[in-house]
């Protein structure tokens, strides 16, 4: 049995920033970071746009950023949280700069601030179009040098262990699958921090990597944590359409902020029919407008038109996007770029307070898996990395104050799991995943949602998955699929509840 003071599940910006800050402040604490694949396989690594931070107090202000965030959230943001996050942003940014994270500057040596949909001012700090990768690399470099942090890659958490006394549930550890030796093990921890990202892989079209299967949601829900607002899944309007399977390559919001237009099959702009901000409307508005246009035209994608832009400046600003398009035979200087809305961000999730504390004692959730109240029903572009930084800071400060309260119990009951086995059942579960993705996508995008029918179909899929593991063995594909089932049911249940209350 392993033992640590702090167990962090996930290795994106939230988990790494929390680990770094906590390890620096409390070198006496042991910290384990556990991730189901390699540490770099995260949504953070794929983030292109950057971080929204008010740095120019002459043209911009905290109040403007707060207003933009509240407007994007459709009236469902927590105003206190919005105020806290945006006012902390400059300090958290400085911490990234101090560890070597680089952000672009203009010829005058000033921040080259980008403009994205829903923002009233240029305020996006970026590293070309690979901002997340820049941050992830710098954080990992620091983490790997810290003696009180152990990074365990290819270790997938299966479930949390909890104890309930006097009607209060406390998280005491986690069961995990060690891929190298095909075995299930247990780790005790005084504090557990979920930084597991979202659930984009529940949908047919998504920008999320294959690992985004709602693991944190599922294990938190099974442990009894409160999950809220799962009816709010954000679709990014401009994922590159190639006709191939997900994940789809993202064409950053910043491309439209740079001046690109969205046009239909006839080469005509249409967004102003739906919102006076046109290409710079919020993601929900642009995605909705594209979907309506596709319904009218019968086509399966629209286009980004970059042909009128300064091509040298475009290639310099977006080298990753330019290179990826070129590899597919698409040249932005002369070709239209086919795009389609795709599931991108989970705005709801595990309910937490301003310190990232869940409804279970000693269990925290940070980043996309958490519902902090910052985003409301629709996240403002480039607020996600910022949220991860601020809540990692908040959680770290809170853990420092409270971790001494927890003492390991002398006895622990560990349930018996079936034998772990790295079986060759990948293809069977890939078929089941595609069925589930089709089902969830159809339900979520339909105007008339039949929740009862969706519930039954999902349960049928789960029953069939269970039948594939009747040899009493647990496999990684089965664990992931079970988590996807749990996350799907949460979405459908909360969509139905919201519809019944007429708030969705």
Per-residue pLDDT of 346-370, as tens digits, reads: 999 999 999 999 999 999 999 999 9
54, part of any domain: no
254, part of any domain: yes
Across the range 77-84, mean pLDDT stands at 99
Are β-strands 51-52 and 124-125 bridged in parallel, bridged antiparallel, or unpaired? Answer: antiparallel
Q: How far apart are CA 356 and CA 362, in angstroms?
A: 11
373, part of any domain: yes
Taking the alpha carbons of 235, 197, 385, 315 in that order, is the dihedral positive or negative? negative
64, part of any domain: no
- Do 335 and 358 fall within a single domain? no
Q: Which helix (H) or strand (E) holds 194?
A: strand 183-194
- Do 146 and 171 fall within a single domain? yes
Q: What is the CATH number of the domain that holds 151?
A: 3.50.50.60
- pLDDT at site 1: 75
Residue 341 has, within 13 A of its CA and on its CB side, a CA count of 23
- Do 158 and 191 fall within a single domain? yes
Q: What is the pTM of this model?
A: 0.94
- Do 166 and 208 fall within a single domain? yes
Q: What is the CATH number of the domain that holds 256?
A: 3.90.700.10
For the chain, the domain total comes to 3
70, part of any domain: no
- pLDDT at site 77: 98
Phi-psi region of 184 (alpha: psi -120 to 50; beta: other; left: phi over 0): beta
Tens digits of residue pLDDT in 395-418: 999 999 999 877 776 566 666 666
Residue 502's pLDDT band (boundaries 50, 70, 90)? low
- Do 254 and 326 fall within a single domain? yes
Across the range 206-221, mean pLDDT stands at 97
132, part of any domain: yes
Residue 167's pLDDT band (boundaries 50, 70, 90)? confident
DSSP string, 418-466: PEE---S-HHHHHHHHHHHHHHHHHHHH-SS--HHHHHHHHHHHHHHHH
Phi then psi dihedrals of residue 417, to 5 deg: -100, 155
- Do 316 and 369 fall within a single domain? no
Task: Give residue 432's Cα distance to chain centre.
Answer: 23
Q: Which of 376, 405, 434 is the last residue of a domain?
A: 405
Domain interval for residue 324: 238-343
- Do 432 and 483 fall within a single domain? yes
Catalytic positions, written as ranges? 283
Pick from 303, 307, 305: nearest CA to 333: 307
Across the range 284-307, mean pLDDT stands at 95
- Do 246 and 295 fall within a single domain? yes
- Do 295 and 324 fall within a single domain? yes
- Do 288 and 206 fall within a single domain? no
Tens digits of residue pLDDT in 313-353: 999 999 999 999 999 999 999 999 999 999 999 999 999 99
278, part of any domain: yes
3-state SS assignment for residue 176: strand
- Do 431 and 367 fall within a single domain? no
- pLDDT at site 15: 98
Q: Which of 405, 439, 455 is the last residue of a domain?
A: 405
- pLDDT at site 421: 60
- pLDDT at site 266: 94
225, part of any domain: yes
Structure tokens at 400: 């420092």
Contact 49, 114 (CB under 8 A): yes
Residue 166's pLDDT band (boundaries 50, 70, 90)? confident
Q: Which of 343, 362, 383 is the last residue of a domain?
A: 343
- Do 158 and 303 fall within a single domain? no
Q: Is the pLDDT of residue 245 over 80?
A: no
């Amino acid at each position: 049995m392993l033992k640590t003071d702090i167990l962090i599940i996930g290795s994106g910006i939230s988990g790494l920033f929390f680990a770094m800050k906590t390890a620096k402040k409390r070198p006496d604490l042991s910290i384990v970071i556990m991730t189901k694949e390699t540490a770099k396989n995260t949504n953070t690594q794929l983030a292109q746009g950057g971080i929204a931070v008010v740095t120019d107090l002459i043209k911009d202000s905290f109040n403007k950023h707060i207003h933009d965030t509240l407007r994007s959230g459709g009236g469902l943001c927590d105003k206190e949280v919005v105020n806290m996050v945006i006012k902390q942003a400059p300090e958290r940014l400085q911490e990234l700069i101090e560890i070597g994270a680089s952000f672009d500057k203009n010829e005058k040596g000033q921040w080259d601030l980008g403009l994205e949909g829903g923002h009233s001012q240029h305020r996006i700090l970026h590293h070309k179009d690979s901002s997340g990768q820049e941050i992830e690399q710098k954080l990992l470099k620091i983490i790997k040098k810290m003696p009180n942090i152990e990074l365990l890659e290819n270790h997938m958490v299966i479930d949390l262990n909890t104890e309930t006394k006097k009607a209060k549930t406390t998280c005491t550890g986690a069961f995990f699958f060690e891929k190298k030796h095909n075995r299930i093990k247990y780790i005790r921890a005084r504090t557990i921090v979920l930084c597991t990202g979202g659930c984009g892989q529940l949908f047919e079209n998504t920008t999320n990597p294959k690992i985004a299967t709602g693991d944190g949601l599922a294990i938190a829900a099974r442990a009894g944590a409160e999950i809220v607002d799962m009816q709010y899944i954000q679709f990014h309007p401009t994922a590159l359409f190639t006709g191939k399977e997900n994940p789809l390559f993202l064409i950053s919001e910043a491309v439209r902020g740079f001046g690109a237009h969205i046009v239909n099959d006839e080469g005509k702009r249409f967004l102003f029919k739906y919102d006076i901000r046109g290409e710079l409307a919020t993601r929900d508005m642009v995605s909705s407008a594209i979907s309506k246009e596709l319904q009218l035209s019968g086509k399966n994608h629209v286009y980004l038109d970059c042909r009128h832009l300064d091509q040298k400046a475009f290639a310099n600003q977006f080298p990753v996007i330019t290179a990826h398009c070129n590899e597919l035979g698409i040249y932005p200087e002369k070709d239209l770029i086919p795009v389609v809305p795709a599931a991108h961000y989970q705005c709801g999730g595990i309910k937490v307070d301003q310190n990232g504390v869940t409804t279970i004692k000693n269990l925290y959730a940070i980043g996309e898996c958490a519902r902090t109240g910052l985003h409301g029903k629709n996240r403002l572009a480039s607020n996600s990395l910022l949220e991860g930084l601020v809540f990692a800071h908040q959680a770290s400060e809170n853990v420092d104050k409270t971790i001494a309260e927890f003492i390991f119990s002398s006895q622990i009951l560990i349930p018996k799991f079936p034998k772990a086995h790295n079986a060759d059942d990948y293809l069977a579960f890939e078929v089941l995943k595609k069925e589930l993705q089709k089902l969830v996508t159809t339900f979520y995008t339909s105007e008339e949602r039949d929740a009862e029918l969706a519930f039954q179909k999902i349960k049928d899929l789960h029953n069939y998955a269970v039948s594939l593991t009747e040899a009493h063995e647990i496999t990684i594909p089965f664990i992931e699929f079970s988590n996807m089932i749990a996350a799907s049911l949460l979405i459908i249940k909360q969509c139905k509840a919201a519809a019944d209350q007429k708030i969705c």
